[in-house]
């Protein structure tokens, strides 16, 4: 009797670290916009801004083509950078745009190290970094975990500082039950493709009053102010930062799913923490995120790899990423400590300035997390990472 052929076992599909969830109704809606002939800023942008304002407690909101220009415009509205001596305090553990925009407006970024537990900016260090030249603070809600808004605004109020919340990752998070964006000073959200809701590219700025909103509109489109049928005036330098109606229609389709997306992300994060604790965390120093299931939107799930453990095996983070990729699992790095980029080294920063941010920047690994993942996907990631860290 001839031997029976062995069954072919299909490889598990590649699991990226993130994937947007866009339903068919939204895709059809985008087609309607394309057929309408009005594809740049128009009625869908207006409706998107209206719904965003409602989410933010009725505060003025304007949509833009990124969550980077929103922060720059907030600083310009606050007249930060009017003097070359102006300083803005922020974290060194963030996407580099957070500090680049400070340079763009002509001010000086000042960094404060992170809290090694939350990985957000350490507010004690923020307070210590304030000088007579400090004009603003830009906190970042890393992975969607909110910075302590109570303490933040106590410091800002006492020192008469403006706050530009880099809430790029925290749309859907809350502080004490109040949605991020519904309180505070300037709040900047991103709707980039990897965010919890997306407009493909885009963002919005939440402001305090209609005067600031009108200034934001001017900065959004070349400083132009229109009046009547043919009136046009320009009083300040603006940019080309408007959101398209195509992108806004994607955002309108995403907003109704925010609560369910957040709930699923929290469920997946809980599963990750349970599996990690059951597997190897106590044995191998793989640091896990804060288990906040009330306020965080769990934009990302990150672990901090055990640097000393890896060094004993002649490995670094890139080796772990490559090994996971070979197992069909995508990962990311969010973020290197930005003060060690060449641009910022030339401005005087160096290794050792912010040790907590530097350690996290070398060893943070972003694992897959998005709403259509299954619990089995989480199990697969944890098992694969355990295998790699144990040297299999």
Q: Is 195 annotated as catalytic?
A: yes
Peptide bond into 335 cis (omega under 30): yes
Domains of the chain: 24-255 (3.40.640.10), 258-389 (3.90.1150.10)
**Strands 61-64 and 203-206, sheet pairing:** antiparallel
Q: Quote the radius of gyration of the chain (alpha carbons, Å).
A: 23
Can you give the pLDDT at residue 284? 86
Tell me the sheet residues that pair with 63: 204
Is the pLDDT score of 6 beyond 70? Answer: no
Can you give the pLDDT at residue 239? 97
> Average pLDDT of the chain?
96
Burial 11-41 (b: 16+ CB within 10 A, else e): eeeebebbbbbbeeebeebbeebeeeeebeb
Can you give the pLDDT at residue 226? 94
User: Of 1-15, 112-126, 167-181, 313-327, where does mean pLDDT reach its minimum?
Assistant: 1-15
Can you give the pLDDT at residue 11? 74
Active-site residue, selected from the candidate residues 195, 240, 316, 350: 195
Confirm whether pTM is higher than 0.85. Answer: yes
Can you give the pLDDT at residue 3? 59
Q: How many CA atoms lie within 13 A of 185 on its CB side?
A: 23
Packing angle, helices 245-254 and 24-36, rounded to 10? 160
Compute the average pLDDT of residues 128-136: 98
64-107 tens-digit pLDDT: 999 999 999 999 999 999 999 999 999 999 999 999 999 999 99
Is the pLDDT score of 169 beyond 60? Answer: yes
Question: Percentage of residues in the chain with pLDDT exceeding 70?
Answer: 97
Can you give the pLDDT at residue 2? 55
Can you give the pLDDT at residue 391? 85
Whole-angstrom Cα distance, residue 376 to residue 179? 31
217-249 tens-digit pLDDT: 999 999 999 999 999 999 999 999 999 999 999
Q: Measuring CA to CA, which residue among 239, 243, 258 is closest to residue 298? A: 258
pLDDT tier at 215 (50, 70, 90 boundaries)?
Answer: very high
Is the pLDDT score of 139 beyond 60? Answer: yes
DSSP alpha helices (H): ranges in the chain? 24-36, 43-55, 69-77, 97-104, 123-129, 149-159, 210-220, 245-254, 258-279, 307-312, 317-326, 342-345, 355-363, 375-389
């Amino acid at each position: 009797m001839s031997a029976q052929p062995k069954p072919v076992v299909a490889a598990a599909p590649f699991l990226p670290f993130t994937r947007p969830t866009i339903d068919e109704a939204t895709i059809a809606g985008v087609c309607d916009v394309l057929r309408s002939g009005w594809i740049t800023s128009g009625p869908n942008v207006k409706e998107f801004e209206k719904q965003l304002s409602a989410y933010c407690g009725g505060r003025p909101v304007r949509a833009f083509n990124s969550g980077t220009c929103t922060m720059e415009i907030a600083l310009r509205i606050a007249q930060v950078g009017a003097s070359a001596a102006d300083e803005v305090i922020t974290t060194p553990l963030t996407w580099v745009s957070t500090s680049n925009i400070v340079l763009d407006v002509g001010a000086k970024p000042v960094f404060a190290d992170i809290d090694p537990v939350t990985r957000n900016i350490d507010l004690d260090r923020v307070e210590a970094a304030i000088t007579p030249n400090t004009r603003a603070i830009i906190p970042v809600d890393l992975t969607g975990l909110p910075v302590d808004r109570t303490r933040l605004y106590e410091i800002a109020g006492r020192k008469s500082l403006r706050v530009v919340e880099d809430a790029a990752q925290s749309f859907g998070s809350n502080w004490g039950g109040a949605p991020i964006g519904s309180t505070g000073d300037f709040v900047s959200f991103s709707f980039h493709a990897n965010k919890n809701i997306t407009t493909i590219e885009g963002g919005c700025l939440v402001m305090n009053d209609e005067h600031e909103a009108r200034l934001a509109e001017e900065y959004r489109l070349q400083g132009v102010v229109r009046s009547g049928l043919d009136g046009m005036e320009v009083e300040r330098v603006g940019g080309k930062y408007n959101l398209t109606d195509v992108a806004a229609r994607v955002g309108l389709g995403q907003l109704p799913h925010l609560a369910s997306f957040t709930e699923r992300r929290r469920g997946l994060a809980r599963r990750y923490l349970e599996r990690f604790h059951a597997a190897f965390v106590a044995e191998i120093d793989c640091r896990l995120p804060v288990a906040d299931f009330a306020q965080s939107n769990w934009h990302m799930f990150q672990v901090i790899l055990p640097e000393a453990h890896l060094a004993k095996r002649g490995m670094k983070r890139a080796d772990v990423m490559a090994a996971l990729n070979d197992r069909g699992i995508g990962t990311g790095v969010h973020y290197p400590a930005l003060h060690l980029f060449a641009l910022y080294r030339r401005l005087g920063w160096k290794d050792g300035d912010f040790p907590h941010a530097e350690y996290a920047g070398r060893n943070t690994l972003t694992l897959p997390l998005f709403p259509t993942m299954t619990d089995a996907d989480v199990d697969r990631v944890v098992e694969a990472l355990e295998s790699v860290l144990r040297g299999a």
